[in-house]
Structure 1
Amino acid sequence: MGQIIRFFDANGMVFELLITTLMFTWWLERRPGFAARFGLGMAALLVGSGLWRLLVPVNLWTVSAENMLAYVTYTVWIALCWRVNMRQAVFYFVMGGTLQHFVYRGARLASTWLHYFWEDASWIDTYVYALMQIPFFVIGYWCFARPLVCKQTSALAGRSVLMLLFGMLLCISVFTNLFNAMVGSQVGPAAFGIFSAFDLVTCVFVMQLAIEIVINQVARSDGEVMRELLRQQKQQMAASKATIDLINVKTHDLKKQIASLGAAISDDQVRELSGLVDMYDASVRTGNETLDVLMAQKSMECEQQGIRFDRMIDGSLLAFMNPVDLYSLFGNAIDNALEAVARLDAGEDRYISVRVRRDKGMVMIRVENPFAGDLTFEDGLPRTSKDDARYHGFGTRSMRMIAEQYDGTMAISARGGVFRLTVILPLRDADAGR
């Protein structure tokens, strides 16, 4: 038992770093052979720690060098075990290392106060210290690791990561080692408590700063993607309008030519040709030019895929909306519906229903379609089923952003095999969105 306690006492930092690093990395994609990489990395850390203690004398400089070597080894280990680049590996090491120091300092500070009552009780620094780590691990994960779960760090700037690394090294290595070397056992409980509390707060500030940097970087990156999507949709709207106008002209000419054939073809042939032309007749009248273009385009897509496209739309109610916002809102909603309905078997009821009507002084927009499978929701929006979640899921987010831009709300439900997207907007004057 004594040997086990001495082993964990000598290598406590290695195991603490393991736990805190896993708190930040458990959700990341793993590299092939993860178990072997993980085990070899931990073995290297433990063997290196043991050899260092046997061969290298303990002083300020050797302790600092040992810490730096462990930090480099941990960073490389993270990069080898998970699919992250070196900049991300440094970031996750910084977070794991700072949280480890937070746990160590918090547990040590809490257990030290017990020496006021039991001055010579060695069990405090062994058993009580280990038990006091548990609540600090829980607090650390809940406050600092959980906010970063599924937050992409690929957009982190190298300068931000270096700044965090520098602050972390000063906090948990340089100043701590200097304090221990220069003051050591001569410091009283009050001075030790003040330094420990300051050290603890510094760790909190470093981790909170890192969280804010990640959130801001992700928001800026998402904003750039959103702007690019809106730019593409604006171009698509212009191209769709030109295409629909051309189709309308050609179908009108074809109808005139069919009528001019007269007795040259039979009535059955006339009906067949007229039916084919009507399929591409893109004349849709909703009372809103933007919706006319979009509905004509989506109507043809549904016709080609054998999907029933039901629509009852009073487009005049949406005259206050910017055409690009209108195209983006309905375009994303119908595209999502098309994608879901396309997965259904041919024998199932394949339809998309679009309704726009006035309801109690508000405009209610509803897009409804059947779907197969199960949907999971996050923050009120369905989680994407696509592999690259980083660059998908912007459609529903942009729709909610547009609804909120016009002081409205968006709600999504998926029950009984039917997906319903509902947007409610307050009525405005037509000039309000111009």
Structure 2
Amino acid sequence: MRDMELISCIRFSLQLLAAEGAMVWGLPGRKNFGLRLAAGLAGYFAFALLIFFGLRSLPETKLAGEIAYYILLFGATLGLVWLCWEISEKELLFAGVVAYATQHLAVSLTQVLDYLLRLRDYGAAGAVWYYGLWYVLTPIAVYWLGVRRVRREGELLERDRRMVVLACVTLFIAIIVSLLVRLCGGEEYFLYLKDFICNLYGVLCSALSLCLLFYIPKENRLRREQQLLEQVIRVMGEQQQLSRESMDIINRKCHDIKHQLRALMEMEDGVERRKYLEEIRGAMSIYDAVYQTGNAALDTVLREKALLCQEYEIKFSCMADGKALEFMDTLDVYALFGNALDNAVESVMREEDKEKRLINMRITKQMQILYIHLDNYCREPVRFEDGLPVTSKKDRENHGFGLRSIRHIAEKYDGEVVLKNQEERFILDLLLPILEGR
């Protein structure tokens, strides 16, 4: 630490802070943002000076001290961002690592250009403008070309251990290469060549790290889209099967009505005649399973599920404002309500007491929030893991996909899904913000 100059530490602190600021540009701030930012900046620079003088005062801390300084300062920037901005843990890690790689890229790039263009004699004022320009333009370019697209396309939805590994590798490369450039000695020509090679290596490593950091979220998004496509294909097959079952139900009811009418025409007993009329009226109630909620996709799902409920003697009540679903994709409506109602029907149809075969659903819009509530009778206690019920079936991967899909759809629309089991009821509550222009 004794070889580390105070001005170099201050410069590094400003560079890293500028890069971090560019990475969180556009994110919503926390309450009392101005006060938080002022206090955070004061604490950040006080902490930077404290660890600088603290480590410098320790004996024999040359290499270890500088490594500790860089890591602690990196952690301080993450703390500052967490204090001031509304940001998830995944986004915080992503922003921090991208900022560190960007800072190292900017520094190494200016040094390489220095060696190539021989821009050594530009004076103090020229140096401030030259270096300052690169330290500002590089984070802006990285944000514009990478971070903005990743955030716009919502690619930071999945946790990925590779991101953590890459974060550690990026930090290691940036810190070690920086220290090698400054701590190695030798002849003047060797120093010149060593500086150039190390800085060029730093440029390549930083650029590669940034490319990988932006590729991993993109790969996650493509994998989710593939899973969703596979689910859509599976749902379409199930819809066709349900349609065939619905037609079988209708044909069977019509066949029964035909025979009941024939018997009614030959019947003279008034009591028996009334009994048959009641049976016919019950059979005709199948046509009551027609919904007009204002959303065609929702109407289709409700009609098919209502027919199944009639077949299995399940009491299904629904109050739905289908027009409130206009901002959702049609496939998402099919998948969301199809999966939710399938789980409910499958749960209650096993109940022997037919009076307890109950499913209730409400879809309402309050202010700019879509509220979806679904509950059904559930006698057996449900065990949850990571917010989702643990299936009792052996094929957990496929049978747990429906509720995972519901949670994925909720996250897609920046919403939240809550699943709970209380008082012999399984409850699904879903809140989706209705944003302008979506």
Shorter-chain TM-score bucket reads 0.5 to 0.7
Distance 1:247 1:60, change over 3 A: same
Cα distance between partner residues in 2 of 1:133 and 1:294: 55
Distance 1:72 1:117, change over 3 A: closer
Contact 1:156 1:217 in 2 (8 A): no
Cα distance between partner residues in 2 of 1:248 and 1:306: 31
- 1:167 paired with 2:169, answer yes
Contact 2:16 2:100 in 1 (8 A): yes
Q: Which amino acid aligns with 1:47?
A: A
Cα distance between partner residues in 1 of 2:284 and 2:321: 17
- 1:57 paired with 2:56, answer yes
- 1:105 paired with 2:108, answer yes
Structure 1: runs of 5 or more not aligned: 1-5, 265-269, 283-292, 308-326, 336-341, 344-385, 393-434
1:123 maps to 125
Cα distance between partner residues in 2 of 1:91 and 1:74: 13
Contact 1:99 1:140 in 2 (8 A): yes
Q: Report the secondary structure of 1:11's partner residue.
A: helix
1:141 maps to 143
Q: Which amino acid aligns with 1:254?
A: I
Q: Which amino acid aligns with 2:10?
A: N
Distance 1:253 1:48, change over 3 A: same
- 1:15 paired with 2:17, answer no
Aligned-residue offset at 1:248: 3.2
> What does 1:281-360 align with in structure 2 at a 5 Å threshold?
297=304
Distance 1:184 1:125, change over 3 A: farther
Q: Aligned-residue CA RMSD in angstroms?
A: 5.0
Contact 2:22 2:139 in 1 (8 A): no
Counterpart pick for 1:76 among 70, 76, 79: 79
- 1:217 paired with 2:216, answer no
Q: Which amino acid aligns with 2:163?
A: V
> What does 1:242-257 align with in structure 2 at a 5 Å threshold?
242-254=245-257, 257=260
Q: Report the secondary structure of 2:159's partner residue.
A: coil
Counterpart pick for 2:287 among 275, 280, 287: 280
Cα distance between partner residues in 1 of 2:23 and 2:255: 63
Aligned-residue offset at 1:10: 5.6
Deviations 1:100-148 (A, max 9, x none): 211222234435666x465372333322211233442343223332342
Distance 1:220 1:16, change over 3 A: same
Cα distance between partner residues in 2 of 1:227 and 1:91: 29
- Could you state the TM-score of these two structures normalised by the residue count of structure 2? 0.54
Deviations 1:161-201 (A, max 9, x none): 23212221222111211220123995655543332222111
Cα distance between partner residues in 2 of 1:73 and 1:37: 14
Distance 1:329 1:49, change over 3 A: closer
Distance 1:174 1:295, change over 3 A: closer
Counterpart pick for 1:388 among 387, 395, 411: 411
1:48 maps to 47
Distance 1:218 1:329, change over 3 A: closer
Distance 1:132 1:294, change over 3 A: closer
2:241 maps to 238
Distance 1:232 1:97, change over 3 A: same
Deviations 1:295-336 (A, max 9, x none): 985999xxx9999xxxxxxxxxxxxxxxxxxx989967x99x
Distance 1:235 1:298, change over 3 A: closer
- Could you state the TM-score of these two structures normalised by the residue count of structure 1? 0.54
Q: Percent identity?
A: 17
Aligned-residue offset at 1:249: 2.1
Structure 2: runs of 5 or more not aligned: 271-276, 290-299, 308-318, 323-329, 339-363, 366-408, 416-438
Contact 2:101 2:206 in 1 (8 A): yes
Deviations 1:326-350 (A, max 9, x none): x989967x99xxxxxx99xxxxxxx
Q: Report the secondary structure of 1:155's partner residue.
A: coil
Contact 2:155 2:220 in 1 (8 A): no
Q: Report the secondary structure of 1:198's partner residue.
A: helix
Distance 1:63 1:8, change over 3 A: closer
Cα distance between partner residues in 1 of 2:332 and 2:55: 66
- 1:92 paired with 2:115, answer no
Q: Report the secondary structure of 2:56's partner residue.
A: coil
